[in-house]
């Protein structure tokens, strides 16, 4: 079987895995990016995707961290064909299949034909990618990865290839910002090749010229971004959504290592998948003896393995693919700048692409053993099952956020999103409970969110939980808790929920 045929089968495999997403609707941020974007809906000319930020406001009018005009342009063309979400989902799945296909093709630069197929299959079935494919706004990650992997494939000594690679890199940047460190990745892979070939010093500058050309494109883009969308968090930013904000020095490094450890968990053991991971689902440690410090140890081990891979490659004894993962991860892991959310699964698509290459390189020789092939096939099967169940979750907003609340019960941000979704779905009693959980979690910040309500969810009926709600939320003054919750609901237009809370207050 040729590599092209194998890559096509991997792309088809990815499409089959994500086929259930075609029946999904608009969830979470999809409304903001598609249904409320004037250039997408036709209320503004389509060219205005370049003069507006990702959520539809004109550049410079309000704070935003997102400028992704090529992603929005795709939404606009599709929306003019049909406003139904199925076409957007179909394009997302097709793009993901194309990315898996391209990965198989590019992987032949470093891996055998079997290793390239293994890399493609691993990439296709990783459950942490579901948010980037089943969520429509996640297309930005897939499109950016597709453009930038194409740039890696095109990089070469000839000037036309370099120009095409630069155009692809710019396309990636205009799809999503997370691929900004591509020039560093390309430079690293070029240096590894030079070290392996024991190239003379005079060969280094020509070999690194493509990465310098890419860096020039990146600097031009960053200059534009800094002018119109400076990379700072807004004044209304909620500190609980990223507890690393404002932490510096050794505590920041230790906390960032914990984030790396938790990302490793989500990739390798994708049980606790959530739309976003914020306080109090994940509290980064600031000291050696904090409860979350073991995750920093896991992150430290991952970082040490990547650095060891880099050292071996520099000595000419390896490909350095695991070190490439670390380079791709730097922006995601907040080592360079603060993000608005502590952990977001959609951000891992670009780093995990390189992780799949590194894993396939490690597995290639091991797969000579029949026992190893059976074990890898079993693990891939489990990953596929988890991917399909997670895709089904993403078909409906309430189902998605309910499953996230079950997997990450302490995720306060997710509770608030679920409460708002239940309000829109006309389920006020359930919404009241979720609003109360979010309020209890916010009031506990920055301490640990640990109240009897977390255990009561599994053993008490909703009516009983609502009746005992203040006590279950750990409120010292039940009447004050209900009064504050009532005012909050009224201020946010949740009138049906406010009436329920008022009745609970009168019953006391």
Task: For the chain, give the percent of residues with pLDDT over 70.
Answer: 97
Distances in whole angstroms, Cα of residue 393 to Cα of each of 220, 258, 265, 405: 40, 27, 20, 12
Residue with token string 């507890």? 243
Does the pLDDT at position 1 exceed 60?
Answer: no
Given pLDDT bands bounded at 50, 70 and 90, which one contains residue 504? confident
Spatial separation of the C-alpha atoms in residues 347 and 331, rounded to whole Å = 9
Lowest model confidence (mean pLDDT) among 24-38, 59-73, 405-419: 59-73
Q: What is the pLDDT of residue 53?
A: 87
Spatial separation of the C-alpha atoms in residues 83 and 274, rounded to whole Å = 27
Domain parsing of the chain, residue ranges: 239-362, 409-507
Dihedral pair phi/psi, residue 52, rounded to 5°: -125, 150
Dihedral pair phi/psi, residue 343, rounded to 5°: -140, 130
Spatial separation of the C-alpha atoms in residues 64 and 60, rounded to whole Å = 8
Round the average pLDDT of the chain to a whole number and report it.
Answer: 89
Give residue-wise pLDDT tens across range 353-368.
999 999 999 888 888 7
Lowest model confidence (mean pLDDT) among 200-209, 252-261, 435-444, 475-484: 200-209
Does the pLDDT at position 352 exceed 70?
Answer: yes
> Is residue 225 a contact partner of residue 213, using CB atoms and an 8 Å limit?
no
Select the more confidently predicted residue: 329 or 290: 329
Give residue-wise pLDDT tens across range 412-468.
888 999 999 999 999 999 999 999 999 888 888 877 788 899 988 888 899 999 989
Structure tokens at 473: 């939320």
Query: What are the helix (H) ranges across 198-320?
Result: 204-228, 249-268, 293-314
Give residue-wise pLDDT tens across range 380-397.
899 999 999 999 999 999
Distances in whole angstroms, Cα of residue 177 to Cα of each of 217, 231, 322, 347, 508: 13, 11, 22, 10, 52
User: How crowded is residue 506: how many other Cβ atoms within 10 Å of its Cβ?
Assistant: 8
Q: What is the pLDDT of residue 15?
A: 94
Q: Which residue from 251, 240, 259 is spatially nearest to 288, judged by alpha carbons?
A: 251
Give residue-wise pLDDT tens across range 180-224.
999 999 999 999 888 887 777 777 788 888 999 999 999 999 888
Give residue-wise pLDDT tens across range 305-349.
999 999 999 988 888 999 999 999 998 888 888 888 889 999 999
């Amino acid at each position: 079987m040729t590599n092209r045929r194998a890559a096509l089968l991997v792309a088809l495999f990815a499409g089959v895995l994500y086929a259930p997403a075609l029946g999904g609707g608009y969830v979470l941020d999809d409304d903001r990016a598609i249904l409320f974007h004037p250039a997408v809906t036709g209320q503004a000319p389509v060219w205005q995707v370049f003069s507006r930020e990702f959520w539809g406001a004109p550049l410079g009018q309000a704070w935003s961290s997102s400028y992704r005009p090529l992603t929005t342009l795709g939404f606009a063309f599709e929306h003019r064909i049909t406003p139904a979400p199925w076409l957007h989902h179909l394009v997302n799945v097709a793009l993901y299949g194309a990315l898996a296909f391209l990965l198989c093709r590019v992987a032949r630069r470093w891996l055998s034909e079997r290793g390239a197929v293994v890399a493609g299959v691993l990439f296709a079935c990783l459950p942490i990618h579901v948010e980037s494919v089943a969520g429509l706004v996640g297309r930005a990650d897939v499109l950016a990865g597709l453009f930038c992997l194409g740039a890696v494939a095109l990089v070469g000594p000839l000037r036309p290839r370099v120009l095409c690679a630069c155009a692809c890199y710019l396309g990636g940047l205009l799809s999503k910002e997370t691929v900004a460190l591509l020039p560093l990745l390309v430079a690293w892979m070029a240096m590894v090749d030079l070290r392996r070939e024991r190239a003379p010093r005079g060969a280094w500058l020509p070999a690194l010229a493509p990465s310098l050309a890419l860096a020039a494109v990146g600097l031009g883009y960053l200059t534009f971004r800094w002018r119109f969308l400076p990379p700072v968090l807004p004044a209304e930013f909620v500190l609980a959504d990223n507890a690393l904000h404002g932490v510096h020095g050794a505590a920041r490094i230790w906390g960032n290592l914990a984030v790396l450890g938790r990302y490793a968990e989500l990739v390798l053991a994708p049980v606790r998948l959530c739309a976003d991971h914020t306080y109090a689902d994940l509290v980064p440690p600031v000291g050696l003896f904090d409860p979350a410090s073991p995750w920093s140890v896991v992150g430290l081990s991952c970082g040490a393995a990547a650095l060891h891979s880099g050292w071996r490659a520099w000595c000419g004894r390896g490909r350095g693919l695991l070190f490439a993962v670390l380079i791709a991860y730097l922006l995601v892991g907040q080592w360079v700048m603060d993000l608005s959310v502590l952990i977001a699964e959609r951000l891992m698509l670009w780093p995990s692409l390189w992780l799949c290459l590194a894993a396939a390189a490690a597995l290639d020789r091991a797969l000579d053993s029949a026992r190893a092939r059976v074990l890898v096939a079993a693990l891939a099967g489990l990953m596929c099952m988890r991917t399909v169940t997670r895709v089904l979750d993403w078909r409906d907003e309430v189902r998605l956020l309910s499953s996230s609340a079950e997997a990450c019960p302490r995720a306060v941000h997710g509770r608030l999103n679920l409460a708002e979704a239940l309000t829109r779905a006309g389920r006020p009693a359930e919404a009241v409970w979720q609003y109360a959980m979010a309020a209890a979690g916010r009031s506990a910040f920055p301490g640990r969110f640990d109240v009897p309500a977390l255990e009561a969810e599994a053993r008490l009926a909703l009516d009983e939980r609502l009746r005992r709600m203040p006590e279950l939320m750990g409120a010292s003054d039940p009447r004050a808790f209900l009064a504050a919750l009532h005012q909050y609901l009224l201020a946010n237009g949740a009138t049906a929920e406010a009436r329920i809370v008022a009745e609970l207050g009168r019953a006391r």
